[in-house]
Amino acid sequence: MSSPAEMEAFLGRLYRQNEFAIKLGLEAITSALKLLARPDRGRARLLVAGTNGKGTVTAFLSSIAHTAGLRTGTFSSPHLCHFRERIRVDGRWVDDDELLRVGTAALDRFGGRAGRDDAPAALTLTFFELATLMAVVVFDSAQTQLDVFEVGLGGRLDATNALSAELCVITPISRDHTQWLGETDDEIAFEKAGIIREGTPVVVHSSRGLEVIRRVAHDRKAPCVVLGEDFEITGNRFRGLGRDLLLPGLEGQPTHHACNVATAVAAGLVAMEHGVIPTLDDWALTRALARCTWPGRWWRLPAQTTRAIPESVEVLLDAAHNPAGARAVVDALRASGQASQPLALVINAAKDKDVRGITEALDELHFERIFVAPVSSSRIHDPQEFVAHSVWTPDRVETSAELLSAFDGALDAVSRGGMVLVMGSIYLLGELIVALGCDDALQSIFSGGDVDEV
């Protein structure tokens, strides 16, 4: 049985593998798969690309497949608190022993060494390529029947695109990672549409870049199913693709979340139509949705924390990290009437994000106090840097030396009733969850506490 020290050493080694370096292209991952005798072969696979909402769609689509009786692998990124969250089988994250076995073997063979001149470039994998490869090997060992992979960056040249797919999904696109994907909606859409396979259906939930996606689908003779045309969601009512049903758990949820869940339902129905997933009746389909939890996305903080949170205060965590995501949060708070209550904000973002655009969207809300919190990741802005890139003047924002002091200040600002909103980076959310002792809630979700046996 692996020890905590062994896991810490392994993760330290893995994170040093160019964690934040991006190497677009399929040559290296394809070579590695071939050397391992293609462990990705012999099972069905679904790919989910997009800018926003792809993690939610991946989670709900996996739950549909599992409820249909398929042993289902799920690969998503990034993680909130632990790397294990990225690789799951039937909703449960990979156990430590299996992660160490598979991960150490992958690093030994394809990790190379930083600055080593004799390491063949095509066989030295980046952090994300290694994570993708590890998921493939874990799923092969677990003998999964269907795997759902969340695409990392873009699509056309992302490591996950080296894998075959029976169905593809494209969630809403917006301007993000423009240095790699292009500056315009059409350029970004072209990269996302790179996952579309010849003759393979694609489900689309994006009005931006839609004509580019349609054109690629047409050229590849791929049936294209589009939200707002072939299926729709009104409140919690889904209609289209031969179904008319009420989706559970959407009461009080924002429109963008409902659209993400509807997209997962549509993808599941298309997969059923093409024989990829066994057909579910309406009752089983809604059960699949009811059993799914995706933390960190419009997620209420669990009641049990290391901080005393007044009953009149709600803490909402959302991983929105670009202007479109921030706009969706603002629209959701307004639509629910929550924007009129006292609000406090805890925020930070990665250095490659459009901080000005994010804060422009949030500036339409009135916050009692705004805190920019530090995050240990070197990828995240120093609080003062964040403020300098924002639309806010220094007198409107408080920069904190410690994450919990920022959170405590936000709690104090709305102590008589209101909401603390924590957003901007999944790394910020993850560190706060751990600091508040709420990572046990994730343990429950991803180790079987919220997963039923089929």
116-165 confidence digits (pLDDT tens):
444 454 488 999 999 999 999 999 999 999 999 999 988 899 999 999 99
Query: Does residue 91 lie within any of the structural domains?
Result: yes
Segment 268-278 mean pLDDT: 97
Query: Does residue 451 lie within any of the structural domains?
Result: no
Q: What is the mean pLDDT of the chain?
A: 91
Query: Does residue 242 lie within any of the structural domains?
Result: yes
The pLDDT value given to residue 114:
44
| Range list of β-strands (E), 156-269 | 167-170, 202-204, 224-226, 231-234, 237-240, 243-246
The pLDDT value given to residue 117:
47
The pLDDT value given to residue 386:
97
Residue 369: its H or E element: strand 369-372
- Lowest mean pLDDT, pick from 180-184, 318-322, 408-412: 180-184
The last residue of one of the domains, among 262, 294, 326, is: 294
* CA dist., res. 83 & res. 55, Å (int): 15
Checking if the pLDDT of 410 tops 90, the result is: yes
The pLDDT value given to residue 249:
86
- Tell me the percentage of the chain whose pLDDT exceeds 70: 93
Checking if the pLDDT of 174 tops 80, the result is: no
Query: Does residue 445 lie within any of the structural domains?
Result: no
For residues 155 and 10, membership in a common domain is answered with yes
For residues 13 and 57, membership in a common domain is answered with yes
| Predicted confidence (pLDDT) per residue in 190-225, tens digit | 999 999 999 999 999 988 899 999 999 999 999 999
Q: Which residue range forms the structural domain that includes residue 101?
A: 4-294
For residues 259 and 322, membership in a common domain is answered with no
Tokens of 52: 């926003």
The last residue of one of the domains, among 294, 315, 331, is: 294
Checking if the pLDDT of 302 tops 90, the result is: no
For residues 259 and 408, membership in a common domain is answered with no
We report the CATH number of the domain holding residue 265 as 3.40.1190.10
For residues 198 and 77, membership in a common domain is answered with yes
The pLDDT value given to residue 22:
65
> Which residues contact residue 215 at a Cβ distance below 8 angstroms, ignoring those fewer than 6 apart?
none
Checking if the pLDDT of 103 tops 50, the result is: yes
Q: What are phi and psi of 160, to 5 degrees?
A: -65, -20
We report the CATH number of the domain holding residue 319 as 3.90.190.20
Query: Does residue 257 lie within any of the structural domains?
Result: yes
For residues 287 and 316, membership in a common domain is answered with no
Segment 426-450 mean pLDDT: 82
- Lowest mean pLDDT, pick from 191-200, 224-233, 252-261: 252-261
Residue 285: its H or E element: helix 282-290
For residues 275 and 315, membership in a common domain is answered with no
Query: Does residue 454 lie within any of the structural domains?
Result: no
Checking if the pLDDT of 332 tops 80, the result is: yes
> What are the CA-CA distances from residue 127 to residues 11, 68, 103, 112 (Å)?
11, 33, 11, 11
The last residue of one of the domains, among 240, 274, 294, is: 294
Checking if the pLDDT of 241 tops 60, the result is: yes
Confidence band, pLDDT 50/70/90 cuts, at residue 448 = low
Sheet holding 44-49, edge to edge: 92-93, 87-89, 72-75, 146-150, 44-49, 167-170, 202-204, 224-226
Segment 355-371 mean pLDDT: 97
For residues 279 and 355, membership in a common domain is answered with no
Total number of domains in the chain: 2
Q: What is the largest CA-CA distance in the chain?
A: 63
Checking if the pLDDT of 441 tops 80, the result is: no
Checking if the pLDDT of 177 tops 60, the result is: no
Checking if the pLDDT of 251 tops 90, the result is: no
Checking if the pLDDT of 356 tops 60, the result is: yes
| Predicted confidence (pLDDT) per residue in 6-15, tens digit | 999 999 999 8
What is the DSSP annotation of 67-120?
A: HTT--EEEE--S-SS-GGGGEEETTEEPPHHHHHHHHHHHHHHH---TT-TTS-
- Tell me the percentage of the chain whose pLDDT exceeds 90: 76
For 444, other C-beta atoms within 10 Å of its C-beta total 14
For 244, other C-beta atoms within 10 Å of its C-beta total 10
Query: Does residue 446 lie within any of the structural domains?
Result: no
Q: Label the pairing between strands 167-170 and 313-318.
A: unpaired
293 vs 283, more confident? 283
The pLDDT value given to residue 175:
66
The pLDDT value given to residue 297:
87
> What are the CA-CA distances from residue 175 to residues 24, 155, 188, 206, 360 (Å)?
18, 15, 7, 13, 15
Checking if the pLDDT of 24 tops 70, the result is: yes
For residues 209 and 315, membership in a common domain is answered with no
For residues 288 and 390, membership in a common domain is answered with no
The pLDDT value given to residue 244:
97
Whether pTM > 0.85 for this model: the answer is yes
Confidence band, pLDDT 50/70/90 cuts, at residue 25 = confident
For residues 282 and 308, membership in a common domain is answered with no
Tokens of 78: 């990034």
For residues 307 and 290, membership in a common domain is answered with no
Confidence band, pLDDT 50/70/90 cuts, at residue 453 = very low
Segment 57-71 mean pLDDT: 97
